Amino acid sequence: MGLLSILRKLKSTPDQEVRILLLGLDNGGKTTLLKQLASEDISHITPTQGFNIKSVQSQGFKLNVWDIGGQRKIRPYWRNYFENTDVLIYVIDSADRKRFEETGQELAELLDEEKLSGVPVLIFANKQDLLTAAPASEIAEGLNLHTIRDRMWQIQSCSALTGEGIQEGMNWVCKSVNSKKK
Amino acid sequence: MVSNCHFVLEMLGYIWQYIYTSFLRYWLKWLLRQATGKCELQRICSGYKPGASRTTKAEYSLRSSKNKVLRGALESSKDHLEQCVDQIMKEKHVKAQIDPMFKGSLHICLLQITGYSSLYTSVEDLRKEVFLSEDPQHEAMLFKLWDLLMPEVKLESRITKQWGDIGFQGDDPKTDFRGMGLLGLINLVFFSENYTAEARQVLSHANHPKLGYSYAIVGINLTEMAYSLLKTGALKPHFYNAVQGAPELTHFHQLYCYLAYEFDKFWVAEEPESIMEFNQYREKFHNVVKTHLQDPSVCLRLTSSN
């Protein structure tokens, strides 16, 4: 990198801040995803009591990612974090078929929330590294995603463990923020 | 200006440190050796009381030694340590008749130093062991935890919402062990078994409708705290003071008990707004523990108020 481009970088406006809310049932992989985004070690993760927040730079954005614990007991607190959300990322454990219904219900309730109306939603069909994982297409169908009309949405298969698919998902997040601003 | 000054001072600090460790330290050691007739390790062993202040200095002295025998002692296995001490005495011309305490003192220092690394290895092995519902021993531990904490209540089935009553997230605890593996479960069981009254008291606080938290997953989180403190070496002063020999797994479980009991006290005293504040208060508590560990006389023992 030449001196000029460094100077240009210093002069350019600070990164635009984006508020991203990371939700989903417990054991879906939200914290692993968050740490993977921040390029941190993912081998010592424990269940999230409360929430974690991290800021990540990406494509000229400063992404402030809020990872909220998914256990049933603290789901009532989710709504405290809705305000000013730019993008919602909903994480699903694609191998936990027994809880597809529960996760679908939670997602449907989120999409009905007034404070989240129009907010683009990215669904991560996580844990694709597991043999028993359902493909994204099957999950999309099960969740009736095609009936969503009031916002941009996308489903992306990924593995927070290996990092596969995450970049693609985040590209969509940045794109959707850009097109929302226009 | 201020930052410039700061920078210069920092540079001077580095230069001084370089000169000290590469030249001055050795001249100083040589001078002291001539004046006292004792080598640095002897001066450390006779000049400091047993515990962290002695062992930390001995560890530094051995690690920065130019002599392979001295540095090699740090990597030695437990059974070879006595031989190592003999070799070191030979290298350093230490006469047992003149300094009869030296051999025993250095042996204990070495047991503590090498024991800390092997403790980390054993802890890491347990952490890497995944909880398996197919393993009857793992399952038995889980049921034992329930019985110790909830002696009056029977579990209706293996998969049940009741697990939430002792602070697991869902109806099957197996997904909650995650990055801490079996280590998290063993710590929980150890606390309930060896400090049953205290564990039940902590559980009753955790189940408070307003000030409560999830007992088991906070416990697993505190196992992570104990684990990372061990990994970074922050627990050295504690173990050097608490165990006059090689620390064992039980000493690590004891430390977990201290954290679980003290965190609860801290949480209750701080009265956080809600469970959503957990990570903030965890960090605050973490800093309190790290401050304790700065004290060379630190010894983190659970002392019950009961």
Nearest to A43 among B164, B179, B220 (CB): B179
Number of domains observed in the structure of chain A = 1
Terminal C-alpha separation, chain A: 31
Where a domain ends, among B117, B143, B164? B117
User: Could you tell me if B75 and B200 lie in one domain?
Assistant: no
Q: Are residues B55 and B156 in the same domain?
A: no
Quote the tokens at residue B131: 């909880």
Residues on chain A touching B214 (C-beta within 8 angstroms): 47, 49, 71, 73
For residues B135 and B258, membership in a common domain is answered with yes
Residue A55 covered by a domain: yes
Sign, CA dihedral B151-B153-B158-B163, equals negative
Which one of B168, B172, B178 makes the best mutation probe of the A interface by having the most chain A beta carbons within 10 Å? B178
The total domain count for chain B is 2
Chain A neighbors of B176, CB-CB under 8 A: 27, 47
Q: Of the candidates B87, B37, B95, which has an alpha carbon nearest to the alpha carbon of residue B65?
A: B87
Question: Do B89 and B184 fall into the same domain?
Answer: no
Lookup: tokens for B256 = 């977990």
In a domain, B160, yes or no: yes
- The domain in which residue A125 lies consists of 14-181
Instruction: Confirm or deny that A127 is annotated as ligand binding.
Output: yes
**Span B101-154, pLDDT tens digits:** 999 999 999 999 999 999 999 999 999 999 999 999 999 999 999 999 999 999
In order of A4, A5, A7, A57, the CA distances from A1 in angstroms are: 8, 7, 10, 19
Annotate B266-287 with DSSP letters as a single string.
HHHHH--S-GGGHHHHHHHHHH
Residues of chain B with a CB closer than 8 angstroms to some CB in chain A: 127, 164, 169-170, 175-176, 178-180, 184, 213-214, 217-218, 220-221, 223-224, 227-228, 274-280, 282
- The pLDDT tens digits of the residues spanning B73-106 come to 999 999 999 999 999 999 999 999 999 999 999 9
How far apart CA B235 and CA B238 sit, in angstroms, is 5
Mutation choice for A interface testing from B163, B165, B169, B270 by most A CBs within 10 A: B169
State how far the Cα of B88 lies from the Cα of B109, in Å rounded to an integer.
13
Sign of CA dihedral B68, B74, B75, B80: positive
C-alpha span between B164 and A88 (Å, rounded)? 28
Model's pTM, two decimal places? 0.90
Look up the CATH number of the domain holding residue A175.
3.40.50.300
Instruction: Please check whether residues B280 and B145 belong to one and the same domain.
Output: yes
- Tell me, yes or no, whether B133 and B104 share the same domain: no
Q: Kindly state whether residue A123 falls inside one of the protein's structural domains.
A: yes
Q: What is the band of B18 on the pLDDT scale with cuts at 50, 70, 90?
A: confident
Residue whose token pair is 């640095």: B40
Contacts of A47 in chain B (CB under 8 A): 169, 176, 178, 214, 217, 220-221
Beta-carbon contacts of residue A60 (< 8 Å; ≥ 6 apart): A15, A16
pLDDT in tens, chain A (182 residues): 566 666 565 555 667 899 999 999 999 999 999 999 999 999 999 999 999 999 998 888 899 999 999 999 999 999 999 999 999 999 999 999 999 999 999 999 999 999 999 999 999 999 999 999 999 999 999 999 999 999 999 999 999 999 999 999 999 999 998 887 65
C-alpha–C-alpha distance, residues B292 and B50, integer Å = 19
Closest listed residue to residue A48, CA positions, set A28, A62, A19, A76: A28
Q: Is residue B306 part of a domain?
A: no
Bridge partners, residue A89, by sequence: A22, A122
Task: To the nearest 10°, report the CA torsion of A68, A73, A76, A79.
Answer: 0
For residue B276, the enclosing domain spans 129-294
Domain end: B74, B89, B117, which one? Answer: B117
Strands A61-68 and A16-23: parallel
Subunit contact B221:A51, Cβ cutoff 8 A: no
> Would you state the structure tokens that stand for residue B55, as one six-digit string?
């062992």
In a domain, A6, yes or no: no
Any domain includes A1: no
